[in-house]
Amino acid sequence: MERSPFAMWGWLLQRVTGVLLVIGMFVHYLYLHFISKGHITFEIVTARLNSHWWVFFDICLLAIIIYHAVYGLLGILTDCNLKPATQKTLNYLFGIAGILLFFYGFIALLTFHYKVPVI
């Protein structure tokens, strides 16, 4: 089977996103469970996401974690030694699912920034 040029970069990116998630999840947990004390309401979240920096942080965290999760799940299926055609279909399917999930989460995030649904 001809190896996709994405194979090595995909693997490397899984490591890079992993390291970034260590930092991202640390901030995420520290803020929501230690500073906010686990008390979350719509008003509290909109107050935080009024800041462009927090919106930027959450968008980055969303994109990074979706890549890490989708690539991780795809990797488990890749370990099953599927037929090349099936594998290729799955690669595209997971890629598209990841992008759709990102936009779904992105729209949800913007709801807290603008205080009303954007769609």
Q: Which of 64, 66, 67, 113 binds other proteins (CB under 8 A)?
A: 66
Q: Give the residue with the Cβ less far from other proteins, 51 or 115.
A: 115
Q: How far is the CB of 104 from other proteins (least distance, A)?
A: 7
Question: Does the footprint of other proteins cover residue 99 (CB under 8 A)?
Answer: no
> Which residue in 46, 48, 44, 68 sits closest to 57, CA to CA?
48
Rg (CA), the chain: 17
The window from 1-9, 41-49, 88-96 that contacts other proteins (CB under 8 A) reads: 41-49
Q: Where are the alpha helices (DSSP H) in the chain?
A: 6-29, 42-48, 52-78, 84-114
**Angle, vertex CA 51, rays to CA 20 and CA 40, nearest 5:** 80
Instruction: For residue 35, give every residue at least 6 positions away whose Cβ sits within 8 Å of its Cβ, in sequence order, or none.
Output: none
Q: Which residues of this chain interact with other proteins, rule CB under 8 A?
A: 15, 18-19, 21-22, 25, 29, 33-34, 37-43, 45-46, 62, 65-66, 69-70, 72-73, 76-77, 79-82, 101, 104-105, 107-109, 111-112, 115, 117-119
